[in-house]
Amino acid sequence: MSTDTDIVAYVQESEFNSLLTDTEEKVIVVDFTATWCGPCRLIAPLMDQLAREYKGRAKVVKIDVDSNKPIFKKYGLRSIPAVLIFKDGVLEETIVGVSPYEQFSSAVEKLL
């Protein structure tokens, strides 16, 4: 039996790159996070909810910024939590900081 914590899997940079080029996954939601980040813990349940609500239509993953600094810098991010939403491998939306669930879901919704 799986727990809620593994709804959204952590990916490394190599997996992330292949996700972006994967034609199966149209919309990818990437949560840049860190274990020491308090606000990141606040949006973790929202990412789980997003993953459940859009299962099969959008893929939600997490990236630990401490072990994936180059990718964090690549997108010009300076603070976390930062949620990047891609469609067909193209960055469409960046949401930085703690935001209400509706902001994440409506961002995903308009890309589907």
Q: What mean pLDDT comes out for the span 47-68? A: 95
Report the pLDDT averaged over residues 18-26: 84
Q: Sheet holding 82-87: strands in order across?
A: 9-10, 58-64, 27-33, 82-87, 90-96
Known catalytic residue at 70: no
Question: Domain segments of the chain: what residues?
Answer: 7-109
CATH fold of the domain at 7-109: Glutaredoxin (3.40.30)
CA separation for the pair 67, 51 (Å, rounded): 23
56 a catalytic residue: no
Which of these is catalytic: 37, 50, 58, 71? 37
Q: Given a cut of 80, is residue 75 above it in pLDDT?
A: yes
Question: Confidence class of residue 3 from pLDDT cuts 50, 70 and 90?
Answer: very low
Catalytic residue among 8, 27, 40, 111, which?
A: 40
